Structure 1
């Protein structure tokens, strides 16, 4: 039987252990990880995947692009696909920092809790300039929500918003929010609130969000205390608190891991698969 080979191209100096474990759990027989991958050096790696096997065996070779920097990952992902031509291609997936699968799981579950339709709702992604926040903004926008992302620096936040529009055609508002007072103001009138900040930093206290009557659903991607949203638990999964539906990071994590594993398996179904935000989110909605 032809071995399922997954080649992990990581933009960080060393390949991610997390992604390696999930790769095996998703069905790869062997994973070869390469660190420090760039658009300039990835070509030789790609050539090794596309010029070796032929016929039905070729679908048993696949590429996973990862690393902590989504912008760098996007550049490598694009360079990989540009190397393909005709039948000389294999399936490829982008999930830098787990951002595609994490955001897809979070948004899919929130949309499900909203009855499957968030058109016209206002969504705010707190600390939304990182990979998970930006991908969440994309998915929310494509669902028809009016989306804003916040950040501590207006220029950086606007740069993230511009990058979202350039790559995905989704326009989002950039809001500077340096402290809890400004973050509290940012969520006024919001129906959906996501917390995508760094580990160990509370973005909103319980007092700051519990009395905001417009909020229907909240999701926090931070699994380590303190939570990004005060007064919630990482295990919350559609838990009602103060009249709002709450998702904690571990409440989202089951779908995220299941989604990641399923996508790895799908890479080996053909040589034509290409998984980025849109494709990953579509599958998340099916699985939610």
Structure 2
């Protein structure tokens, strides 16, 4: 997979579909690698006529780690993000710079979880580079919405696995805690994905730094009120990690946005929901024409 330097950060990326088609950038969530965007999901989007680009955020996967000796991990986990080395706005700058380095003037963008937060920041800071936007299972940064259940938060903060076998089992436990109760549970696939992610790259402190960036970035609600780009908000009705109120608040803040709530969906992208999600993304993108 290729790498390039954008915003001073080395970023790993790959693509699907015809480079002559409109670009669609996929932004993944907290601690997650770009491979969490399943190649089959990416291909469904490419089949809709997009040139799909996925990438590892800074501090994840094969992209550059941001060393920060001053980071106070204990303080961050206790709710004090003052030692955070960067903010979500910096991660949005990375995404915008990646598009520019690839020679893409304007793109559709789709983000999941923290990736949705980054997409929201792109809408605020880099609207001139966006054709349309989609925020999936995310929230505005308003602490009164998008709350987690204790079980989901415990899964998020579980100790990092030390072996591939541990990673496979951890993926299963996390998926049981935050996944989609209304859809089939594919334990074998989840276990294989957890193992593959561990074997590709691991960056436990990168996870903490990204978590700190979320906590340090504040409420985007007022900034979102200025958005003029066609925007879709997708959320699972059964999301225990970022409650559906986060998606509803995001849609309420963005003028003329569309809200799609999927019954039975938790904090993941269940395969049976892919056609509905892909169709909704394509329909929203068509509003940019």
TM score, norm. by length of structure 2: 0.35
Which structure has the larger Rg over C-alpha atoms? 1
TM score, norm. by length of structure 1: 0.35
